[in-house]
Structure 1
Amino acid sequence: MLWTFATAPAARFIGIDIAKDTLDWAVYTQKGGFLLNIHTENTLKGIKSALTQLKALAGWNPTQAVFCMEHTARISMGYTSVGI
């Protein structure tokens, strides 16, 4: 099944722009649009910091979140090991 932003069973969409040294996170909701922007270092500490901020959002439920990022070869490898 092909989902669109309007039909996906997710409450939140988290887009991550990956650079060598930094990560820019944008959180969108189906109902409210843009919700949050986070800028972190591209380190385990930075990722954990962003995840902490996401968990603090009202109504946060990781089973209703879709994480989207560009594939940038070696730079994006390993993110699944920290829970993304």
Structure 2
Amino acid sequence: MTITGEYSATVECGSKSSSIAFGAFAGKSKPHVRYDISIFLGEQGGSVLRMISTTSGMAAGLIGMNRERKLFAQWRSMLNAALPH
């Protein structure tokens, strides 16, 4: 995790070079993903947490793209469950 501002950060894990070199064979456990996370004030008060995927998984082809989408959905669900509504 790298702090990029007072209320923002970038989270990156996995090996970008392995994903490019080995594509879908890089493995499920270490796909390269990068998410930008920011927190800001919502229009009707309260805080809004925004998580944006800045990787597509395209380096690993269609399989990698599907893995990235599933991983993003899992992280979004975990964040949603952990934060108050």
- When normalised by structure 1's length, the TM-score is 0.32
Give the structure with higher Rg (CA). 2
- When normalised by structure 2's length, the TM-score is 0.31
The structure with higher relative contact order (CA 8 Å, sep 6+) is 1
Structure having the larger proportion of residues in helix: 2
